[in-house]
Amino acid sequence: MNGATKAGSSTLSPTLLGIRSLARKLCEEVPLMSSKASNKREDARLRAIRLIEARPLITQRELATELGISLGAAHYMLRALSERGFITLARFAQSSNKRAYAYALTPKGIAEKSRMARHFLARKRIEYETLRAEIDELSVELGLGSAIELNA
């Protein structure tokens, strides 16, 4: 990327200026978390909530595998979701596996899932638009035309 497109530069291209405007607008609508680690944790929580909603009988081990995290981290996440009131846990008296639980989203959990999904989409739209603008600029720089023209 050339010096004219750096984030702190006052000579940003019109495309990147438009993306910054879009980012500001989205940030006003959905406050974005500041750190990559926070975003990653929230993404994992959203994926966990979506998995629980789709598969209430999922085990902690299956959840950990699906999320790509350790079993301990999955346990910690489920406990935190439960403590915050986003999920409830119920044991099965009739089950042969006495350690088995069924997880259910609470109304508060459904609202949180919706909030996190909006936040996720806002971040991904910004990432998409930023990447698209960089591709367009590089394509023009290399004399290939814009990415829109390349796809046509």
Is the domain of 39 the same as that of 78? yes
| Residue 25, pLDDT score | 62
Q: Is residue 110 part of a domain?
A: no
Asked if 83 and 135 touch (Cβ cutoff 8 Å), the reply is no
Is a pLDDT exceeding 70 seen at residue 149?
A: no
**How many domains does the structure of the chain reveal?**
2
Residues 6+ apart with CB under 8 A from 100: 57, 59, 91, 92
Nearest CA-CA partner of 81 in 123, 46, 35: 46
Q: Is residue 113 part of a domain?
A: no
Counting DSSP H helices and E strands in the chain, the numbers are 6, 2
Is the domain of 9 the same as that of 20? yes
Q: Is residue 71 part of a domain?
A: yes
Q: Is 92 in a helix, a strand, or coil?
A: coil
The CATH number for 49's domain is 1.10.10.10
Asked if 133 and 15 touch (Cβ cutoff 8 Å), the reply is yes
Is the domain of 62 the same as that of 17? no
Is the domain of 24 the same as that of 42? no
Predicted confidence (pLDDT) per residue in 53-88, tens digit = 999 999 999 999 999 999 999 999 999 999 999 999
Is the domain of 26 the same as that of 50? no
Q: Is residue 115 part of a domain?
A: no
Q: Is residue 131 part of a domain?
A: yes
Asked if 77 and 51 touch (Cβ cutoff 8 Å), the reply is no
Instruction: Quote the CA–CA distance of 3 and 27 in Å, as a whole number.
Output: 26
N residues, the chain: 152
Q: Which domain holds residue 19?
A: 1-31+120-152
Predicted confidence (pLDDT) per residue in 21-37, tens digit = 665 565 555 554 458 88
Is the domain of 8 the same as that of 44? no
Is the domain of 101 the same as that of 39? yes
